[in-house]
Amino acid sequence: MKISQAFKFEAAHRLPNVPETHRCSRLHGHSYRVEVQLEGPVDPHTGFVADFFDIEECFAGVLEALDHRCLNDVEGLENPTAENIAIWIWDRLGSRLHQLSAIRVYETADCWAEYQGR
Ligand SMILES: Nc1nc2c(c(=O)[nH]1)N=C([C@H](O)[C@H](O)COP(=O)(O)OP(=O)(O)OP(=O)(O)O)CN2
């Protein structure tokens, strides 16, 4: 069974490794959406794969680190592409959410990157 919980944060970034002519080389902002997906058996007693409240608690530190920040200033996110943000979040949640199966980061409504630990 898969479950997923979505979170939102606002942040600025610029992409340092694209050509100067690329518009994303300039500082700009996004309303990011992150989906945290877990996969595992349904506990017969609780009826949960995991409690959404526990996922929310684990995600609080990520939100604190990213919301209303310039992502380039966050350690490990010097090149804050959607792909690198997904990996960065996985690296912080993986040890706390052992059923973590995917992190999906939407930069816009139409563009996302998903990391499944590889
Ligand atoms: N593989 C990736 N490609 C791109 C990334 C990325 O993280 N991974 N990032 C960017 C830019 O940062 C960003 O997505 C540009 O966003 P924006 O121009 O706001 O998005 P739209 O194209 O949807 O904007 P419209 O104004 O609606 O056309 C680029 N590539």
**pLDDT tens track for 33-55:** 999 999 999 999 999 999 999 99
Asked if residue 81 has its Cβ within 6 Å of ligand 1, the reply is yes
Cα 50-106-91 angle, rounded to 5 deg: 55
For residue 84, the ligand 1 atom closest to its alpha carbon is: 7
Asked if residue 107 has its Cβ within 6 Å of ligand 1, the reply is yes
CATH code for the domain of 81: 3.30.479.10
Residue at token pair 């040890």: 95
What is the per-residue pLDDT across 60-115, written as a single tens digit (0 to 9) for each?
999 999 999 999 999 999 999 999 999 999 999 989 999 999 999 999 999 999 99
Q: Could you list the residue range(s) of the whole structural domain that residue 31 is in?
A: 2-115
Start-to-end Cα distance in the chain: 20
Q: From the candidates 24, 70, 83, 114, which is the catalytic residue?
A: 24
Q: Among residues of the chain, what percentage have pLDDT more than 90? A: 98
Looking at residue 87, what is its pLDDT?
A: 98
Both tokens assigned to 83: 């792909």
Cβ atoms of 87 and 34 within 8 Å: the answer is no
Q: How many domains does the chain have?
A: 1
Looking at residue 18, what is its pLDDT?
A: 96
- Is the Cα dihedral 115, 49, 3, 6 positive or negative? negative
Would you call 25 helix, strand, or coil by DSSP? helix
